[in-house]
Amino acid sequence: MAIIVTFDFPDAGQELYDTVIERVTDGRGFTRFADVPTTGLVSHAAGPVDGGFRVTEVWESVEALEAHAKTFGPILADLGHTDVQPTIIPAHNVVVR
């Protein structure tokens, strides 16, 4: 079952996001799904919110997200963001172009 995942990073900005993306993709950047080293990502959006930065994604399953977390979790920890707990809800409907 697809899931919607929201990560909120209080007191963080685009610089943190760009650093994480740089490390996750080994410097390739993230402009297409093939840039991410794990499979199962359906959609990804990121941007500033009041007091921080937000990333919202749709994953094919919890298992796909957990596999990806093995990549980005240690990166976030290395950058001092060990307390980030995503909000995960089941997706009722997902429409992509």
- C-alpha–C-alpha distance, residues 35 and 26, integer Å: 9
- Asked if the model's pLDDT at residue 83 lies above 90, the reply is no
pTM over 0.85: yes
Single out the residue of 9, 29, 14 nearest to residue 81, CA to CA: 9
Predicted pLDDT of residue 44: 96
State the DSSP code for 85.
Answer: -
Structure-block tokens of residue 56:
């919202």
pLDDT of residue 91: 98
**CA dist 12 → 7, 34, 39 (Å):** 12, 26, 27
Mean pLDDT along residues 19-26:
96
Q: What is the reported pLDDT for 77? A: 95
Confidence of residue 82 (pLDDT cuts 50, 70, 90): confident
Question: Is residue 30 over pLDDT 90?
Answer: yes
| Per-residue confidence (pLDDT) for residue 97, from 0 to 100 | 86
- Please give the C-alpha separations between residue 70 and each of 17, 77, 91, 92, in angstroms, as whole numbers: 17, 11, 22, 26
